[in-house]
Structure 1
């Protein structure tokens, strides 16, 4: 398995350049095609329902501004990929909202790369990564808003970019709760896990779910990974408890603390959705990780 089509969301956020560098290095490693997408934010349903009249001069000026901003977000994409040695790529400006538009394109991709929602936008746009996760059917690699491009990347004769790229996956923390979402995330992460120098399977509160984890928690998932050429180790931990209750946000915080303590540069997490409402589209653990992440997180739903 390899990532042969990589989608990257481009906007005017400070860390957008880091997404392009990551997409470039993954493309070189997997001989992949990269699709760079910028969106105007105008819902496609307005066009489908004929609610938008582009001949209206006021609306036309507004749409022109939105499209110019999207084009500006794409401005450095092609030159940067060419300079890095990526041969196969395309760029698109879409008239759509970010979540809905990216979800459509991602249905024909192996991996989507997006950025963490900026802290001052979480009240209104927190559903963006959630929407791509739940509506695209594609694994999503979320980069933290602290990610920055780290200089130019030199490309070897073999077509592999130098370690100067912000490529995660040398030391990976796999959040394992034996759910189908976690299993899906691990499968989708296998191309990265095979290249990792160290993989840690983190299991929280295993004693509370003996039917899920058995007598030796983590043994089955470690054996499964081993058959794919991934050497993994298990770490058991407990999340904070208040009386008889464990708060999902504290489980997420415990996972983030484990990743920081071990110096991990990537987390693999199954996204659990339990509500049709956008505001609660993700489970509490997933939302806590997305809000507090300082390392990239690969998620699947």
Structure 2
């Protein structure tokens, strides 16, 4: 059959939720995953409890899964999920410390730490006790053990997530991390939860693709900070069709441009910026650019029915 899953954009939270569910409801998968993680198999499957994003004084666990044995012993599996981001300094050492503290406090009797990531992800040099399990291995297990549509979908989901671009550890730059963190903080403060932010990459360029909730596949924002303009691009929509759709728009602040087979609404004349320009521009030039993206996406949201018709009408 054709691919069951057509999702093409992933953040780490997607994997957190995927794994939390599978360990909680799929006994066969939970047993396989536990065996790969190094925990003993003498326990009851699936997990008695799973929870994503568990935070304590030592940091965050992406997925915490609790298992019980027939004798009522408690086992904890602490999983760090990766798609594109590199490891933070001492990140897995903190996982191990978290496991030991949990045992000391009586939360569990035995624990294990695992990394769940694409096969291409660089995991050399991890602590000896930490096991690695790949998305591809998990997908292969699912396909080999069941053929219903739900299982095929979840296998496809992992395989598609595994294709994401990996951030090489040597690309890690503390200043870039600080700069993009400042940008994300500014965006949350100025625009609330309008933009979806889940930072897993710290690029060198200022070509940004901001997203808001509910964006359809035909829409993309191209915020080109280094050029000083922001485009709201409509994939495979001809310029004349887009021009006709927005002809009567009041108070429009954008121009129309053609981009290959697509077209876009553009706000230009913004002050260009680069990461190397420093933190001082975050509250000025970067905020102005995000403000333009906010206006364009707000215009789309207000007129979504009209834009949906334009995007979905037969070409």
Higher relative contact order by CA 8 Å / sep ≥ 6: 1 or 2? 1
The TM-score with structure 1 as length reference comes to 0.27
Structure of higher CA gyration radius: 2
